[in-house]
Amino acid sequence: MQGIVEFLTGKQQEMLQTLQQIVERESPTLDKEATDHLAEFISGLFEELTGGKADIIPNGEYGNHVRGEYGNGEDQILLLGHFDTVWQKGDIHQKVPFRVVDDIAYGPGVFDMKGGLVQGLYALHTLKELNETINKKVVFLFTSDEELGSPSSQRLIEEEAKKSSCVFVLEPALEGALKTARKGVGIFKLRIKGRAAHAGVEPEKGLSAILELGKQIVYLHELTDYSIGTTVNVGKVSGGTTVNVIAEEAEADIDLRVKTQAEFDRIIPIIKNLPSHINDVEVTVEGGVNRPPLERTEAVAALFNTAKKLAKEHLGFSLLEKETGGGSDGNFTAPFAPTLDGLGAVGSGAHALDEHLIISEMPRRSALLALLLKEVSK
């Protein structure tokens, strides 16, 4: 019987064609008509390639999502991917045309993360074609709004994660490595209210919100501690009305990154309860966790070690793992089920003009995923 690796190696050209079809259906997050169109196409592809059932999940504001179901069993494994991109409609004709140069494919969203979708679809296709029975149900979620922070898909992703024994995220690999840790993200809005006064006539009556803001910025940035991976960044500020007025109001947007939930528990109260440095100035902070951390728990490490072993034994390469400060939908699933991220395309240039993937890695990574699905459903 033909093995998974050989079967997929023979599918490289077909996978590339499928990638092209998905990439040519451009899907900017905010273009509902375009993303709906691609959702329809992916739903058809899923049924055709896997023999499973795909449902369109209607979405009022953003593009519709797609939920594919393959196989059956008591337990569930979740495959996660998004089909929206940061590119605009028409970019494929000018800025980032789809093109193939030797072993590299360029185009909008090839790396982040349409290549990963193709790999996921073909992993299931391979299991089906080779009659590899897996005794778990695989749910494959294709979402439309990840590049915006998944406002309409977060709930759906969390609900499916709760029902799953593990989650495989098809976001791009990081220099070929899987992602076994992603930082959690906190977002806050700092508002400061002082008292206005004429800067020349009676400045002593004023309480400068901008001065207070300056002190707060210094304090906040000093909360950064690289030794534990905690970073705080005030990324946007505004305040005041005009040059000769002591500023009554000022505000700032704060980005917090941490490695663990325990660190969130420690630092969020500090940020939410900032004392004022100037008497009688009002300081308020709103906000909180935007994405929980994907922590490298023992269960995550075990999943990675399984993948590493499979890569070595069947594909002859050393799979590496990395951590990143950037978030993905894997952050949402991590609190509910062990999550292995970065199982998608190998390449680079996400969100950049040279976005590309390595074509010959598509069947390889797809095989890795198929082997992994088989292994964890034993």
Amino acid at 334: A
Nearer to Zn ion (CB atom), residue 112 or residue 361: 112
* Cβ atoms 169, 66 nearer than 8 A: no
Token look-up 């897996």 returns 134
- Does position 34 interact with Zn ion (CB under 5 A)? The reply is no
Amino acid at 269: P
- Does position 343 interact with Zn ion (CB under 5 A)? The reply is no
**Contact letters (x/-) for Zn ion, 50-69, by CB under 5 A?**
--------------------
- Does position 16 interact with Zn ion (CB under 5 A)? The reply is no
- Does position 341 interact with Zn ion (CB under 5 A)? The reply is no
**Contact letters (x/-) for Zn ion, 353-372, by CB under 5 A?**
--------------------
Give the active site residues: 84, 146
* Cβ atoms 279, 206 nearer than 8 A: no
> How many angstroms separate the CA atoms of 83 and 76, rounded?
22
Per CB under 5 A, contacts with Zn ion among 160-179 are: 171
Residue from 36, 84, 91, 112 touching Zn ion (CB under 5 A): that is 112
Nearer to Zn ion (CB atom), residue 28 or residue 71: 28
Instruction: Work out how close the CB of 293 gets to Zn ion at its nearest, in angstroms, rounded to a whole number.
Output: 18
> How many angstroms separate the CA atoms of 125 and 109, rounded?
22
Residue from 113, 124, 157, 167 touching Zn ion (CB under 5 A): that is 113
Nearer to Zn ion (CB atom), residue 112 or residue 248: 112
Per CB under 5 A, contacts with Zn ion among 233-292 are: none
- Does position 321 interact with Zn ion (CB under 5 A)? The reply is no
Q: Which two tokens stand for residue 37?
A: 């169109």
CA atoms within 13 A on the CB side of 193: 3
Is the alpha carbon torsion for 311, 317, 322, 328 positive or negative? negative
> How many angstroms separate the CA atoms of 142 and 125, rounded?
16
Instruction: Work out how close the CB of 319 gets to Zn ion at its nearest, in angstroms, rounded to a whole number.
Output: 20
Nearer to Zn ion (CB atom), residue 112 or residue 355: 112
Among 87-95, 109-117, 136-144, 357-365, the segment contacting Zn ion (CB under 5 A):
109-117
Instruction: Work out how close the CB of 180 gets to Zn ion at its nearest, in angstroms, rounded to a whole number.
Output: 17
Among 58, 48, 53, residue whose Cα is nearest residue 21: 48
Give the three-class secondary structure for 255. strand
Instruction: Work out how close the CB of 115 gets to Zn ion at its nearest, in angstroms, rounded to a whole number.
Output: 11
Nearer to Zn ion (CB atom), residue 171 or residue 361: 171
* Cβ atoms 117, 83 nearer than 8 A: yes
Measure the N-to-C terminal CA separation of the chain; round to a whole number of Å. Answer: 19
Amino acid at 227: S
> How many angstroms separate the CA atoms of 253 and 377, rounded?
44
Please identify the residue of the shown chain whose CB is closest to the bound Zn ion: 112
- Does position 117 interact with Zn ion (CB under 5 A)? The reply is no
- Does position 329 interact with Zn ion (CB under 5 A)? The reply is no
Residues making contact with Zn ion (CB under 5 A): 112-113, 171
